[in-house]
Amino acid sequence: MPDLDPLESVAASELVSASLLAALIPTLVNRGVLSSQDANEVYENALLMIEMQQGADPAVQRVYEAARELIEAHLRPE
């Protein structure tokens, strides 16, 4: 593993987690483990968690807005 500063390490860890979850949910739906409705519920709960954690710090509002938009994209009908 490359020598990363603390911020890069956190960013890499978050990228791994997000990528795994992004791949996991559709895989579980495709294999019949989750229904489409179950998958939507996962995304809705994730959206709620983000909304509850965001706080009022203007310095990070753009980050929370971007995260919400990414999750909301999964909730839109294709």
Total count of domains within the chain: 1
What does each of the 78 residues of the chain score in pLDDT, given as a tens digit? Answer: 678 888 888 888 988 998 998 899 999 999 999 999 999 999 999 999 998 988 778 888 888 899 899 899 988 877
Check residue 33 and give its pLDDT.
97
- For residue 20, what are its two tokens? 């795994």
Residue 10 lies in a domain: yes
What's the residue count for the chain?
Answer: 78
Residue 1 lies in a domain: no
67: Cβ contacts below 8 Å, ≥ 6 apart: 50
Residue 18 lies in a domain: yes
The pTM score is: 0.76
